[in-house]
Copies of this chain bind each other. A is one copy, B any other.
């Protein structure tokens, strides 16, 4: 889903998560141990609009709170859908959603240079008002202006060890949604911070923290594509970390879109993961149950 435009209704979200659950349940039924994380862009965008339009009556909440809110709504709806999809397949497993914090560095340069666009597009005049209130906004061209916020690098998924224990008990765990609630470690311990964490990078950190074999980024395209949108376009199948790193350096993958997905799976494999997969959600089970590389883009160590 793209920026908030009123389309991320509850009914749409429930339908999307119910569909996702069937593919995840297929994978679980096939014997794969699964831990789930997810994005939250359109949902956070909606919460920001709510903050803004109700600020005269109720106090707005900060970005870390918005992220937490989306973990809970996406989490319990996905749990309901998964419980059903697993039962339909005769699989007796419990589902769990953990509210999850992700540690970032208070000295991360992202805090001085907010660069992640979030929320709805506004006119220059509208943005000016919000800039005067202390927000950062960027001119994104034809579609208008958009708020930009810090997107610091995830260091550690604070609550991952509990997720690992729950997975060890046989549960299907949903955690670190939206990259996790950003926290910094300061004088008073962990405190939430006004930022959003890239969900793909957080997924790579999470997968490493959990000791996962394979990191899969399920998206809306079947594979990463070289020279996207040109006559030379070529879907990537099985590639090595070295090859993928070179393609990335050559600028084949769009920033804010395929770029972070490629970066996430590549770094996961470079750090010792067995494989990274990028494919469409409805090809998830196939991508992991057939020989790696048959479906989607698969990054391997060498």
Which residues of A come within 8 Å of B, CB atoms? 4, 6, 8-10, 46, 49-54, 57-59, 61-62, 64-65, 68-69, 71-73, 75-77, 79-80, 83-84, 87, 94, 96-99, 101, 120, 159, 161-162, 165-166, 169, 171, 181, 183, 188-192
Contacts and interface: CB of A to CB of B under 8 A. Distances in A.
Contacts of A190: 79-80, 83-84
A101 B77 contact: no
25 contacts: A6-B59, A8-B59, A46-B59, A49-B58, A50-B53, A53-B53, A53-B54, A53-B57, A54-B54, A68-B69, A68-B73, A68-B75, A72-B99, A72-B181, A76-B99, A80-B101, A80-B189, A83-B189, A83-B190, A84-B188, A87-B189, A96-B98, A99-B99, A162-B166, A162-B171
A79 to B, nearest CB: 7
A21 to B, nearest CB: 10
Contact of A59 (B9, B51, B181): B9
A54 B49 contact: yes
Given A50-B51, A50-B53, A69-B72, 9 more contacts: A10-B62, A50-B58, A52-B54, A72-B72, A80-B189, A80-B192, A83-B189, A96-B159, A162-B166
A76 B46 contact: no
A101 B79 contact: yes
Contacts of A192: 76-77, 80
A220 B49 CA distance: 34
Contact of A97 (B57, B65, B84, B99): B99
Q: Give the 4 A-B CB pairs with smallest separation, nearest first.
A: A84-B189, A72-B72, A97-B99, A68-B72
